[in-house]
Structure formats: C-alpha cells, structure tokens
Structure 1
Amino acid sequence: MTPLKRLAGILITGSALPGLAHADFFADSKASLDLRNFYFNRDFRNGPPTSQRDKAEEWAQGFMFRFESGYTPGTIGVGLDALGMLGVKLDGGDGTGGTGLLPADLGSAHGRGSQDEYSKLGLTAKARVGKSVARIGTLAFRSPVVSNNDTRLLPGTFRGAMVTSQDVDNLTLQGGKIDRIKFNSSSDFVEMSANRIGGTSDSFVFAGGDYRLTQQLTTSLHYGNLEDIYKQYYGGLQYLLPLADKRSLKLDLRYARSTEDGNFRDLDNKALGAMVTYAVAGHAFGAAYQRMDGDDPFPYIANSDPYLVNFVQINDFGNTQERSWQLRYDYDFASLGVPGLTFMTRYISGDNVLVGSSNSGKEWERNMDIGYVIQSGPLRNVGIKWRNATVRSNFGNDLDENRLILSYSLALW
C-alpha cells in the first residue's frame, strides 16, 4: 500500500466516526491535519570506537489526522477521539538511521537503516460527567510523573485509562493506569521499562492533583508506580509574582523521591530542582539548579519525558548523584514588531556524576532554538524552527546536533 493510500485510509476512518453518534456529538467535534517535515542530524564528535558510528541522519515527512468528538447529551455524555499518523522517509537511514524519526530496518547493514514508511491509529473512548472526563484507549498527556514524548516526527502515546476532574474550584485531579507505550518511531505498543534502570512492566499507576491557592501560587502532589520497578512521589510549587512595568518573576520548585517496587532491585533517588525566571519587555532570563542524591539515577518510563528542570534537548542531567545548573535566555520579537519570531538559548553544566567508584563524571550541553510562525497571508500558521545542540562529556558521547522542523496545522472543521 502506498503512503498516500494509507493516509487516505486513516482519514476515511476518522471522518466516518462522527456518523456513528448523536448529532450533538458531531456539532461540537473538530478535526485537523497536522503536517511536520523533519530533518535530523546528529554528529558523534568522538567517533569510533567510542560511539561505534560517525553520525545519525534522516529526513522525513509526517502526517497527523486528529479528530475530537463532542459529547452526546445527557447526564453522562460520551464521545470518541481518533489520531491517525503516517511517517514517510524522504532521505537518509542508509547506515545513518537511529534518529528516532523512523523505525529501524533491522535487515540493513549494521542494523542502521530505516523503513520507508510507518503508520499508526489510536482510538480513545471518553465519557464526561460535570467537569470530570474519563478516557480509555490511546492516551497522550502530561503529568509530573509521566508524560508522552513529542520531540520527533510523530508523538509517542500510551495505552490505558485515566480520569481528569476539575469539579472542585481551583483543583485539578488526575489519575489512571497505563499498560503499554508506543514509541515515536513505532507502530506497535510494547511493555514499559525504566530509563537507565531497565526491567519491564505492564502496569504504571498514577494519581495526583494541582491546587491553585491564589492566582499566583499553585501547589502539586503526584504519585507514580511502575509495577515491580519503582515508586515515585512528587511535590511541586509554582509562584508567579507580577511586577511593575509588565515585568514578572516566576519560581518553579520540584522534588521527587523514588524507591524500589517489588523484587527488581534496590533503588534510591532523590531529585531536587528549582528554576527562577525574570521576564521584562519580551526578554526572559532564567537560572536553574538540579541535584540528584542517592545510589541511582532519576527513574522514569523509557521514551517518555522526565519532569526535571534540566531536561533539555538531548540530556536530562539526571545521572546518579549529578549536580547541574542552567542559564537560559528567551526573546519574543513581537516586542520589536515582529510577532511569530522567537529565540531561545541555554547552557547546562553537570558534574559529580558517579562513574564507577568515583564522582568524576562531567558533562555540558548548549541549546539554541530559532522559530518563526507566519502570521498572515496564504501561508498563515506555517512554522519553521531550527534547533541546535552541542554536548560534551567525559563519560558519554560528544554530540553536535541540528534539527530543522517545518510544520503546518490545517483545521478541517
């Protein structure tokens, strides 16, 4: 089946769903087609034999059809969402695969080729009572203890069930269970494992809430349990202090305690993170500090996003006993009359990493993002972003990385 025929099948499946339900189901529904053209190049600067390769490089086109239904009328409203995705290789992968854009072609030389295309379809049933919504099926969401990853051609997703409630003023509750994860570059759900820890599990249970004490102050408590591998307890505080002349000061504090679960092995990690951001006239100046304590690195579901202040383009700076700090600068060119143009740069340095029997590990990463979204005309909402990163380490690979992303979202109805 050609890529265009496969995409057409996904679109037809999604477009047919509204006809299965009540008219209100359709009246409140919406659908969109997201296009993402992604070029990824990562150079391994220390080269073989340390990295076993010189570079990973691929170029691909992604299509994402999103359908979100309304709810049927009544005390309990029901609905259905659909997410159809298609990824097509444009170039690369001939010995330079492994960027995460496309599935690996294991039959290629050295296993570093990539497949020409892949697709996936996710369906999610949902029910609403008051301001509480239950979902079951394919899930893509963010939480301090588990978040899907969307940094490649197509987003990763989970399989499971969850409930989100906002029935109590200023309180958002979230909880559920997932049993499988689908990686960004995969068509299949697989069991979950813990990053840097290993093991496999078919159950992750999570629960927690965020409470807004005032318009400026929000507190968070969350819990996650990857069965037979780890338990994690998270507490956070976010405070935004408005200042005169459209200035503001934001404080973000995070603490997580992780221990073992079951008989996998002993696990001990305490993660503390704090970030302060001062904003004025389109500028934002940020500084962060992150500290790992205990005998193990920060655990989280592999191929998901960790909730760490120093989780950046390539690294998370969550190695065993690592200490890291970050300086960041953002600028929104709307202040100069150029809306849609943004710039970000940051530098993160980590040390005290436990390598073997000594705390001699050091690493640093520098990131730069430049993005522009066209604001008017026939190309309105077309976005282009260049993401650049440099990593140097005395215990891992030295990397230079560039990502060029062209995106567009078209509302179908």
Structure 2
Amino acid sequence: MLQSKKLTLALLINAALVSTAFASEQSESKGFVEDANGSVLFRTGYLTRDYKGVEPGDDTSSFAQTAIVKLDSGFTKGVVGFGAGIIGDASFKLGKNGHTGNGMIPTHSKNNADGTKDAYDHWARGGAYVKARISNTTATYGTQVLDLPVLASNTARLVPEYFTGVLVQSNEIDNLNLVAGKFTENQYSSQINSDGNELDRAVVWGAKYTFNDDLNASYYGVDVKDKLDRHYVNANYSYALANESTLTHSFSGYHTEFEAGSLSNIETLTEDKQNSIWAISSTYSKDVHNVMLAYQQNTGSLGYDYGNNADGAQSIYLPNSYLSDFIGKDEKSLGLQYNYNFKNHGLAGLNWTSAFVYGWDIDVLGNEQEGQEREFFNQVKYTVQSGFAKDASLRVRHSYYRANDSYKSIYMNDTNEWRIWLDIPVKLF
C-alpha cells in the first residue's frame, strides 16, 4: 500500500510541475543573502495544572525563559535555487520547578526519593536544514516545525516540537497546494534528544484547493510505520449576510486505522482497530464579534488516539479542542465559543475568547457508567500594535475542566489550568 501511495504522490507532483499556470517564484529570487531573514523570539512561559482530588505532588507547574532563533537564507538565482537555515532554542528554568510533568521542561532521568524528577537548569535544542526550489516547488530537508493536520508540531508549550526529514511543497497549479514528505526523527518540546520520541518513519501527503474566496477544501494523510494510517478532510464555505456580517460553515474529520501491537492512550492493541471523528461548525462574524457553534462526534472501536501518532498530540484540527480535545470512544460534544475584539474601545490588539464544551455518551472500557466531561475556557491576549515593542504580546489562558468518575479514571482528573506567555519578537535582519 505504501508503494502505491508513493506512486500517486509522484504522479501528482509531476502533473503539477508540467502544468504551471502562473509565474514562477524561483524566477523572482533576489539571492541567497538578499532574501535572507533572521529573528529571535524571547518567550517567558508559565504553565500550571491544579489537579483536584489527588495528592498535591501530582500537580504540575513550570516557569521558564527561552530564546527561539530562526535564521533563513534566500534562494540562489537560477533555474534551481538553493538555500539553508538554522532553527533552535536555548532555555533556562525560573525557580525550582519541582512539579514538572506537563511537557514544558525536560527532566533528568533519575528519580528523587519522593519519585519526582529534577528539571534541567538550562538546555538547548535545534538543528539545520537545506532547501531547493524549482519554479513554484520547494523541497526542504532537515529540522523543521510542521503545521499539517495529520502531523503537527506542538507549539503550545515553551518551545516548539521538531521533526527531521524532507518535505516537498508545490504550488504549480493556481489555487492548488500539494505537500509530500517523510520524517524519521521527532523531538517533543520537553525532550533533549533530537529523536526523543523514537520515530521510525512517518510518510505524509496532502492537497488543499481554493475554489474561490468563499470556498476551499483539503485532504491530508499520514502513514506511521507499525502504528497507524490516518486521513483528514476539511471544507469551509463562507458567505455574506446583511449588515456587513459573515457566516462560515466548516466540516472536518479524521479516519484512522490502528495496527495491532501499537500502544494507545489506554491499552495495548491486540488487533487492528479504527476510529472516525468528525465535526461541523458554523461561525457568525460581525465587526468585533465572532460566535462559533460546533458539534463533534466519535465512532469506531476506540477513541481518537493521538498517542499512536508521531507528534506531541497536536494533530487534532477540530473545533472542540482546548485543554481537552473531547476524543473519547463514541463521545459526542457540543461547543460554543465567543470572541470579542476591543478595537472599538481604543484597544486595538486586545482580544478575549470564551468557550464552553460539554461531552457525553463516552464508552468507558470495562465500566457500565457512561463518561461525561466539560470545560470552561477563557483567554485574553494583547498584542502591541506599534512602536519599539510592536508585535510583542501577552497571553493569559485559563481552563476549568471537570469529568465524572467514570471518565476521569482513564483520561484526566478534574483540573484548573493556567497558561501565561509573554512573547517579544526581535527581527535580526
């Protein structure tokens, strides 16, 4: 099956290369140095989880400072352009950080007498990449941060998750973006080893087509060796209403085939299993107001399981995803989200988001009681709009999560979580 996928990808990319419909990006290259850019993101991050009904030592709290660096060259001139870059981060903890375990800070492998592990005082990670471009097709090999629905870097911690491999992106046909890649190393945000997740092989592919300004659709797939085969589809349609308002309807979903012998979140699979999860949402937007109503549902022989995938639980591009992703077996969930922009109050750059999601009808393995969960989410973010601190931002996020006894025994205890990020970007050149 993998060979047929490779052949399909090759045919798609070949068709794109010979069907150029608009100007070449490579022909507009100014040069290796002339198009280069470099930046540093200084981030102070704090994350704490107050677990209810458990020992205080099980609570987690992390506080640290990092500098995330990216140096990216342009492409050399010519029919084929070449370039290179470096991406990485250097961090140090703030305070003792005696209750880590939330994916923020790496810890030493040796346990203390009380079973806890000491956090690293300071650490650095990252790598380099090379790239080549012909016409409107770019191939990148090396350390990368991915943003694909089936293989996504977790960027919700202090530093990003890294993948090592090759990714090809093609825009040869107008309005059509094609991607294909293979990755052999995966480093979580809290790992020092560049292949801390011990990834064997993950092959990805996908396409996104924009029909017009109002309609687009996409499909992506991933084959993770000896673990799973996952597919994702998405479609979005927007149209204008009266009084300068807009309504957007979205559909998205995953179908996953899990291989026997792989480890899921709650069990070792003794046979092949599968899951389908899908969601529909409608979003109403008018001036500073944005309201989204979303319904999400799971079917299959187990819940949606990102633990089997090759990433840090980020490949869940569905609307009911906050602290919980509402992914239990047979779970149904309904979510309501409201966003308000304070620009009409003279506070451009200040946004508030509030959401409530309720999940029910969860099939809990070995328990006759159906699982239920709910989350109340709030986030305030301010981004400086001008001046010497332009684009600096402060984000404060809080989740109030509760589940019944049946579901918390296999998923997550009742939790109050705070996340605070102060980001200061600096452009080097």
In the alignment, what sits opposite 1:34?
A: 41
In the alignment, what sits opposite 2:400?
A: 390
Distance 1:40 1:112 in 2: 17
Distance 1:119 1:226 in 2: 28
RMSD: 1.9
Task: Map residues 307-346 of structure 1 onto 2, 5 A cutoff.
Answer: 307-346=316-355
1:102–1:36 distance in 2 versus 1, CA, 3 Å: same
In the alignment, what sits opposite 1:195?
A: none
Look up the SS of the partner of 1:53 in the other structure.
helix
In the alignment, what sits opposite 2:22?
A: none
Report how far residue 262 of structure 1 moved.
6.8
Report how far residue 112 of structure 1 moved.
3.5
Report how far residue 261 of structure 1 moved.
4.1
Q: Which amino acid letter does the alignment assign opposite residue 74 of structure 1?
A: G
Distance 1:381 1:263 in 2: 47
Contact kept, 8 Å, 1:29 with 1:69, in 2: the verdict is yes
1:364–1:225 distance in 2 versus 1, CA, 3 Å: same
Report how far residue 359 of structure 1 moved.
5.9
Distance 2:220 2:384 in 1: 38
Report how far residue 191 of structure 1 moved.
6.3
Contact kept, 8 Å, 2:297 with 2:333, in 1: the verdict is yes
Task: Map residues 2-401 of structure 1 onto 2, 5 A cutoff.
Answer: 24-48=31-55, 53-94=57-98, 96-109=99-112, 110-190=115-195, 192=197, 201-261=199-259, 264=262, 265-300=271-306, 301=309, 302-357=311-366, 358=368, 360-394=370-404, 395-396=407-408, 397-401=413-417
Report how far residue 381 of structure 1 moved.
2.4
Structure 1 unpaired stretches of 5+ = 1-21, 193-199
How many percent identity over aligned positions? 26
Structure 2 unpaired stretches of 5+ = 1-28, 263-270
Look up the SS of the partner of 2:301 in the other structure.
coil
Residue deviations 1:93-118, cap 9 Å, x none? 22x11132210133353233311111
In the alignment, what sits opposite 2:7?
A: none
Aligned residue pair count: 381
Q: Which runs of 4+ in 1 moved over 6 A?
A: none
Distance 1:191 1:376 in 2: 40
Could you tell me the TM-score, scaled by structure 1's length? 0.88
Distance 2:85 2:243 in 1: 43
Distance 1:91 1:312 in 2: 31
Distance 2:77 2:185 in 1: 32
Distance 1:311 1:148 in 2: 19
In the alignment, what sits opposite 1:8?
A: none
Contact kept, 8 Å, 2:299 with 2:329, in 1: the verdict is yes
Could you tell me the TM-score, scaled by structure 2's length? 0.85
Q: Which amino acid letter does the alignment assign opposite residue 154 of structure 2?
A: N
Distance 1:91 1:314 in 2: 25
